[in-house]
Structures are given as C-alpha cells and as structure tokens.
Copies of this chain bind each other. A is one copy, B any other.
Amino acid sequence: MKNPIPPSARECFNDSSCIFSHLSPDELTMIPIDQDPDFYRRGSVIYTEGSRIRGFYCIVSGIIKIYKTGFDGKEQIIRFAKKGDIMGFRSTITHEPACTTAQALEDAYIFFVHGDLVLEFVKENGDFALELLQIACKELGEANDYITDIAQKTVRERLAEIIIHLLNEFNLDQENYLKITLTREELANIVGTATESVIRLLSEFKQDGLIELKGRKIKILDEKTLVRIANLNN
C-alpha cells in the first residue's frame, strides 16, 4: 500500500469547504470521526448505479469520477469529486437508488457518514440544512449549464471549455500541467463525443499552440484563446 498513514477525517471536517464543518461540537461527537477513512485503490468503484446508498461519502483525499452509464453502455461523466466534496447525498436524501457510479481516478481516502445521522442533522441544524441545500443548488446550476452547452455547442467548443473547467477545478502541478490526468476516452465521456474526435481536436489545439501534450498530461499555453473558443461568458 502506497500510503501507510491514512489522512485524518477530522482535519477534513474542520475545513470550511466541508459540509460537516457546519456541525455543532455536540453533533460532531456523533460521528466516529477519529476512525480511519476507507481506502480505495485507483480504479476501484465506491458505489454503482442502481445500488442503495446509505449515507454520505466525504472525500478526504483523491479524485473520484462520477458517471452515468448510457443506454449502449457508454459512460457519461457528470462531475468529479475531490477533497472536501461529498458524494451520494442525492440518493441519501431521496431514498432512491444511486443514479450514478463513483470510481476512484487515483488512490483515495473516503469517510462514510451514515444517512440516518445526516437526516437528523438536516432536521435539527438549520445551518447544516442550508449548507447542504446550497451544495445541491450549486450542482443544479452547473448541471443546467452543462445541458445547455452539450445541446448547443460544438464538440470543439465543449472540449476547450472542459479544459478550462479542469484548470479551474484542479489547478496545475509543479510543472504547470493540469493536476488531473484523464484518458482520451474519459475526456470524450465528459465532452460527450467519440474518443477519436477528442484526439483529433487535442492535436489541433496543440498545432495551434494552445496546449502542450505529454502523454495524458495537458499544459495550457494560451488560456485566453481557449476561453474564446469555448465561448465562455463567465
């Protein structure tokens, strides 16, 4: 095992970006927060579309891809989750089976909080409820944008947009490459296109001096032009 020292969930829960930072000290004691989070090796699945979810998964470290499987088995990546994000709240709240699958893109530590506990927090702690509502509403707004983009923009525009989006969400590593690395197929499954189209467009962007490619790593050379190609207003 690569990482013999699991990161602390407590530290994660204290960060203001984490929903659980809005719990009262009393409420926090109800969570076995000093237990180690669960470890998921790169590639392993946290939960599967159609399964019952019994609580919140809070990401302590790592990156998770969350996707739906379409009619013909093709993945559609809906979003990514990273440190401080929660997964599975939709199903927990609605008591429906999961509508997505969550899979670790890199080794990850995830802390599970039981649903009964969460529902109690929602009912008893207005701040927590409001915070959770805000998370849901934020995702909803993003989903609406996504719908409009996929419906109206060309593949080229969407790919440029996704690159910018990944930059904003995951930033750069020490060498100025995007910190998240995806296969061409995964990129295609975000953009909603064929793998070959992504490959062709990426090399086009490279030709035009907008990006640099090193295997799966992407370096952004000309953010401004990418933004223009993407027709981003925001």
Contact = CB atoms under 8 A, between A and B. Distances in A.
Main secondary structure of the interface of A (DSSP, over half): helix
A139 to B, nearest CB: 6
A196 interface: no
Contact of A100 (B100, B119, B144): B144
Contacts of A140: 90, 136, 139-140, 143
Contacts of A147: 68, 76, 78, 143, 146-147, 150, 192
Contacts of A122: 126, 129-130, 133
A99 interface: yes
Interface string A102-142: 00000000000000000100111011011011101111110
A148 interface: yes
Given A123-B126, A133-B132, A134-B93, A71 B151 contact: no
Contact of A133 (B96, B133, B141, B192): B133
A139 B233 CA distance: 25
B71 A137 contact: no
A145 interface: yes
Query: Which residue, A130, A137, A153, has most C-beta atoms of chain B within 10 A?
Result: A137
Interface in A155-182: none
**What is the size category of the interface that chain A forms with chain B?**
35 or more
B126 A124 contact: yes
A56 interface: no
Nearest to A192: B151
A233 B71 contact: yes
Contact of A130 (B78, B93, B150): B93
8 contacts: A68-B147, A93-B137, A94-B134, A94-B137, A119-B130, A123-B127, A133-B136, A136-B140
Interface of A: 68, 70-72, 74, 76, 78, 89-90, 93-94, 96, 99-100, 119, 122-124, 126-127, 129-130, 132-134, 136-141, 143-153, 192, 231, 233
